[in-house]
Amino acid sequence: MRMFHRRGGVAIVAVCAVALAACSSTQPPVSKPSPVIARVGPDAITLAQFNVRYQSVCISIEQGGGSCAGGAQVTSVRTTALRSLIIDTVIRQAAIKLGLEATSKEVAAEVATDAQQAGGMSALQTELAGAGGSIAQLDDEISSNLNEQRVENVFAQQRAALVESVLAKGANFSATAKTYSDDSGSTGTAAKGGTLGILTGAVLKTYDPAFAAAVESTPVGAYTKTPVHDAGGYDILMVSSKTAQGWGVRHILIYAGNPYNVMDRPEWFVEALFTQVGTLCKANAIEVTLTNAGGNPCTSPASTPPPASPSPRASATAKPAG
């Protein structure tokens, strides 16, 4: 779910979608390049990008009942905005290396879809403005989300393959679930060795079809040798029993949700990002010139991102409601 608006509808032809001003037959004045306030390797982060992200962070805080006012709070928000831009730049660089970077055409297509949902581009701009947002912030959010979803998905595939190799060497399934599964939290299964209990036929129908099909086709005592790609990501499941009541199932979830939610970043992905930032710091490849921000991860302690959500994420193998 995006910060400012709902999703749905089909793409429309975007007329003057890039500019916030109305169409004009006259050429707009040439604007000066925005000053560079940070660099991550070969990529520059400009003041214009920072201002857009700062406003997004403020809106998020205010929607949660907080405030961006006050000297200390302003510095904190500036720090959050800058660090998020640095992390997103690292992710974008990874997306480029993988040939998966979100293109301006893809971003424009999603904006057009949102405009259709809202009743037109003007209506979308009005809706965003009502929440304190803008088309520029929406573009930023869409681009960042697409890049992260694609990179995290590749990393998740690699991690799932690692788990399969661990199991192939004879590791205990329950112990491996406790170590690797992203189905965590007080309502999750990781701490319980991945057990989902007994799934009746009726209950199994509420799960992702790919997951349900794998349960039905896996012999008792066996586990899936190829991760099952379902709505939650990549699942490795084991069928421990089959009776008239249903199937006894354990699973190991490597999160790569579809739709993807950046607030659900798994810890192993966060660690991978911090490792890359650390590598860039050692190479003196991150430079920050913005003042009153404290957002340079190379010169100040990198804080762990806040919990994904106030309540633990439920098992992602189940079908989403609606």
- 202 exposed, middle or buried (CB, 10 Å; 0-12, 13-18, 19+)? exposed
pLDDT tens readout for residues 52-104: 999 988 888 888 888 888 778 888 899 999 999 999 999 999 999 999 999 99
Is residue 248 in a domain? Answer: yes
- Percentages (nearest 5) of helix, strand, coil residues in the chain: 45, 15, 40
Is residue 4 in a domain? Answer: no
User: Within this chain, do residues 138 and 52 fall inside the same structural domain, yes or no?
Assistant: yes
Is residue 165 in a domain? Answer: no
Query: Helices 135-168 and 71-97, interaxial angle, to 10°?
Result: 60
CA neighbor of 109 nearest in space, from 14, 19, 20: 14
Is residue 45 in a domain? Answer: yes
Domain housing 222: 171-255
User: Within this chain, do residues 277 and 151 fall inside the same structural domain, yes or no?
Assistant: yes
Name residue, tokens 């690692």: 162
User: Within this chain, do residues 190 and 47 fall inside the same structural domain, yes or no?
Assistant: no
pLDDT top residue among 314 and 68: 68
User: CA 150, CA 106: separation in Å to the nearest integer?
Assistant: 13
Is residue 59 in a domain? Answer: yes
Kindly state the tokens that stand for 274: 């911090």
In this model, does residue 1 exceed pLDDT 50?
Answer: no
User: Within this chain, do residues 179 and 97 fall inside the same structural domain, yes or no?
Assistant: no
In this model, does residue 241 exceed pLDDT 90?
Answer: yes
Count, in order, helices (H) and strands (E) of the chain: 9, 7
Is residue 221 in a domain? Answer: yes
User: CA 72, CA 89: separation in Å to the nearest integer?
Assistant: 26
User: Within this chain, do residues 183 and 244 fall inside the same structural domain, yes or no?
Assistant: yes
DSSP codes joined into one string, 163-227 = HHHHHHTT--HHHHHHHH-S--STTSSGGGTTEEEEE-HHHHTTB-HHHHHHHHHSPTT-B-SS-
Q: How many domains does the chain have?
A: 2
What does pLDDT average to over the chain? 84
User: Within this chain, do residues 130 and 279 fall inside the same structural domain, yes or no?
Assistant: yes
User: Within this chain, do residues 139 and 280 fall inside the same structural domain, yes or no?
Assistant: yes
CATH of residue 237? 3.10.50.40
230 with 317: CB under 8 angstroms? yes
CATH of residue 148? 1.10.4030.10
Mean pLDDT throughout 144-157?
96
Is residue 320 in a domain? Answer: no
User: Within this chain, do residues 42 and 184 fall inside the same structural domain, yes or no?
Assistant: no
User: Within this chain, do residues 121 and 177 fall inside the same structural domain, yes or no?
Assistant: no
User: Within this chain, do residues 203 and 149 fall inside the same structural domain, yes or no?
Assistant: no
For the ranges 29-38, 72-81, 222-231, the one whose mean pLDDT is highest: 222-231
Strand partners, 44: 39
pTM: 0.80
CB atoms within 10 A of CB 188: 18
User: CA 224, CA 12: separation in Å to the nearest integer?
Assistant: 42
Is residue 321 in a domain? Answer: no
Cis peptide before 259 (omega within 30 of 0): yes
User: Within this chain, do residues 195 and 284 fall inside the same structural domain, yes or no?
Assistant: no
User: Within this chain, do residues 134 and 63 fall inside the same structural domain, yes or no?
Assistant: yes
Kindly state the tokens that stand for 173: 């399934």
pLDDT tens readout for residues 105-137: 999 999 999 999 999 999 999 999 888 889 999
